[in-house]
Amino acid sequence: MYRYDAFDRRFVEERVAQYRDQVRRRLAGQLSEDEFRPLRLMNGLYLQLHAYMLRIAVPYGALSPEKLRLLAKIARRYDRGYGHFTTRQNIQFNWIKLEETPDILAELASVEMHAIQTSGNCIRNVTADPFAGVADDEIEDPRPYCEIIRQWSTLHPEFSFLPRKFKIAVSGAAADRAAVRVHDIGLYLRRNEAGEVGFEVLVGGGLGRTPMIGKTLRGFLPKRRLLAYLEAILRVYNEFGRRDNLYKSRIKILVHALGVEKMREAVEAEFAAMDDGPLALPAETIAAIAAHFAPPDYAVPEPGEEAALGRALAAEPALARWVKHNVAAHRAPGHAIVTVSLKPPGRPPGDASAAQMELLADLAERYSLGEIRVSYEQNLVLPHVRRRDLPELWRRLGEAGLATANIGLASDIIACPGLDYCSLASARSIPIAERLSEHLASRDQEIGELHIKISGCVNACGHHHVGHIGILGVDKNGEEFYQITIGGSADENAALGAIVGPAVPSAEVTHAVDALIEVYLDLRRKGERFPETYRRVGAQPFKEALYAPA
């Protein structure tokens, strides 16, 4: 894991001191809310329905036990005992007091964390594959590049007041576990015909009011030129992106308006005008950052470990189910990647209590070489677990309500905070997710992989556009209705879902989802996932089932 150097530490501590003085002046009436708002937002502090909300950056989703324990401490001391992991691998606390925020930021700085650039029209937290560095389908670990981008983009003077917020995701694997294609810039590590590793650069993806899939701007970019090319894209966006209309201000609108060819021409012209100077990434610079992410020393599995695990799985069907769904292949022999579900049936997706965070910090030290990751799907990952330890880990997780065996299944629902917390929301998300997960949990095995995603407004923090089944809350004359989309996908074959028909009332959402699932189960071919069935048979059977007269 990257450790702050003296520059990082001083910069974050100075920011805390600046912010403490800003809060003091605000509380003393020396700053108006109009003056203070941009200052607090630069430090991740929003004002929501019930209190201030603090969004804390988890760079590329990487946490240490020390950091997770500090988050648990914040939950206990400054909030109501829990936190909410978000679809951008961050954590939010919903019940924060303004007067306590300087102390919270100071506590965060003590473990090399902050809330800078988790809001505002700047480059936000860079996200990554939560299996980075351990996935068996990976070309190269994306984390060093995420860290390089983080350092380049933090307080970048040219890009601190962009037309709108800007999100970057990076993946180094064949499977896309970072929703790369729906980011302002998406980066895939690719190997070219000469065997060199570089980047495929996508631009103009995004969700929100006008969802779009990113387009490839460069099929292969040498690593050395990564920052120069990113800077070229940002410069074009900064110059030509719209500032006159909030709803047309994201780079996806610029790419759409120009067309990808003209966008490419503009970026390449800017790129060509740059020399290979300060923005160049020499191999030794990359290596120095990559050293922070060097693989740990994995224990060599002992003879008989796998056989013992096999016996445990045969003896305990619930353990076998959990291993089947929550455990992924690891590149090191005898090891596994464990995804800890934060989606127990009937509970808010992505929430973790302070006690659960503390337990996970302990378990990460005991079983995962001291590493935890946050996934954009609002779960936590223990990336270095010995396979022989899986039964014991499962038991300990189960004691804390953390052994739900549902990763990638129907009850593993993404949901934004919605109208229960968020001042932008049009309708509630969490109660819909709770009802659905409770209802669908018993059918998870039968249904198989299914991604349901729920947003409480068009801003789409719940990624509904790319759900196999997407649910969007809307306000119709004061009543909550839910618009349903089908066929979306956030993976390497990303697609936007299509609206099935008129929105349904809140009370009918579960019935509607049931109807769609029944059509899928009825029509699917062996091994076919929901989006594939939808693409093969079209929308009509789903529409007929959803809107059939009672």
Q: For residue 521, which amino acid is it?
A: L
Cα 353 from Cα 81, distance rounded (Å): 6
| 356: contact with other proteins by CB under 8 A | yes
* CB 478, min distance to other proteins, A: 6
User: What DSSP state is assigned to residue 514?
Assistant: H
Number of alpha carbons in the 13 Å side-chain half-sphere of residue 328: 21
Which of 17, 39, 47, 523: binder of other proteins (CB under 8 A)?
A: 47
Residue 106 contacts other proteins per CB under 8 A = no
* Least distance CB 483 / other proteins (angstroms): 17
Query: What is the C-alpha separation between 270 and 495, in angstroms, rounded?
Result: 30
Binding of other proteins at residue 474 (CB under 8 A)?
no
Count the alpha carbons within 13 Å of 519 in the hemisphere toward its beta carbon.
26
Q: Does 527 bind other proteins (CB under 8 A)?
A: no
Whichever of 415 and 484 has its CB closer to other proteins, that residue is 415
- Asked whether position 77 contacts other proteins by CB under 8 A, the answer is no
Give residue 448's identity as a one-letter amino acid code. G
Residues in the interface with other proteins (CB under 8 A) total 41
* Burial class of residue 288 in the structure, from the number of CB atoms within 10 Å of its CB (0-12 exposed, 13-18 middle, 19+ buried): exposed
Distance CA 103, CA 540 (A): 56
Reading the block at residue 237, the tokens are 């966006």
Query: According to CB under 8 A, which one of 271, 421, 530, 534 is a site residue for other proteins?
Result: 421
Cβ-contact 252, 233 below 8 angstroms: no
Tokens describing residue 370: 């001291």
**Residue 478 interacts with other proteins (CB under 8 A)?**
yes
**Which of 354, 515, 516, 546 contacts other proteins by CB under 8 A?**
354
Which of 39, 98, 175, 313 is close enough to bind other proteins by CB under 8 A? 98
Residue placing its CB nearer to other proteins in the complex, 184 or 480 = 480
Q: Which of 9, 80, 529, 543 binds other proteins (CB under 8 A)?
A: 80
Among 18, 353, 445, 510, binds other proteins (CB under 8 A): 353
CB of 512 to other proteins, least distance (A): 20
Buried residues in 378-411 as b, exposed as e (16+ CB within 10 A): bbbbbbbbbbbbbbebbebbeebebbbbbbbbbb
Task: Give the contacts of 7 (CB within 8 A, at least 6 positions apart).
Answer: none
- Asked whether position 93 contacts other proteins by CB under 8 A, the answer is no
Q: Does 51 bind other proteins (CB under 8 A)?
A: yes
Distance in Å from the first CA to the final CA of the chain: 56
User: Near other proteins by CB under 8 A, which window of 26-34, 279-287, 307-315, 507-515?
Assistant: 26-34
Q: Does 312 bind other proteins (CB under 8 A)?
A: no
> Which positions ≥6 away from 404 have C-beta within 8 Å?
341, 343, 344, 345, 411
Q: Given candidates 107, 137, 268, 420, which one binds other proteins under the rule CB under 8 A?
A: 420
In angstroms, rounded to a whole number, what is the distance separating the alpha carbons of residues 299 and 313?
22
Q: How far is the CB of 82 from other proteins (least distance, A)?
A: 4
Instruction: Centre a 10 Å sphere on the Cβ of residue 462 and count the other Cβ atoms it contains.
Output: 32
Task: Tell me how far, at minimum, the Cβ of 50 lies from other proteins, in Å.
Answer: 7
**How far is residue 100's CA from residue 97's CA, in Å, rounded to a whole number?**
5
Closest-CA residue to 352 (of 77, 91, 52): 91
Residue number with CB closer to other proteins (52 or 376): 52
Is position 439 an interface residue for other proteins (rule: CB under 8 A)?
Answer: no
Pick the stretch among 78-86, 241-249, 262-270, 280-288 that binds other proteins (CB under 8 A).
78-86
Q: Does 352 bind other proteins (CB under 8 A)?
A: yes
**Is there binding between residue 49 and other proteins (CB under 8 A)?**
yes
CB of 15 to other proteins, least distance (A): 21
Distances (CA, A) of 471 to 159, 370, 415, 466, 485: 34, 37, 9, 10, 6
Selected range binding other proteins among 107-115, 430-438, 522-530, 541-549, rule: CB under 8 A? 430-438
Four-point Cα dihedral 162, 166, 170, 174, nearest 10: -130
Helix (H, G, I), strand (E, B) or coil at 432: helix
Q: Which residue matches tokens 């996970």?
A: 360
Told to check if 500 binds other proteins by CB under 8 A, we report no
H helical segments located in 459-525: 509-523
538's torsion region: left (phi>0), alpha (psi -120 to 50) or beta?
left
Pick the closest to residue 252 from 210, 218, 216, 219 (CA basis). 210
Among 270, 351, 371, 377, binds other proteins (CB under 8 A): 351
Closer CB to other proteins, 102 or 448, in the complex = 102
Contact flag: residue 480 with other proteins (CB under 8 A): yes
Token pair of 523 as six digits: 């029509």
* Contact residue for other proteins among 112, 140, 184, 434 (CB under 8 A): 434
Per-residue mark of binding to other proteins, 372-411 (x: CB under 8 A): ----------------------------------------
Nearer Cβ to other proteins (323/457)? 457
Binding residues for other proteins, rule: CB under 8 A, are 26-30, 32-33, 47-52, 75-76, 80-82, 96-99, 347-348, 351-356, 419-421, 425, 428, 430-431, 434, 475, 478, 480
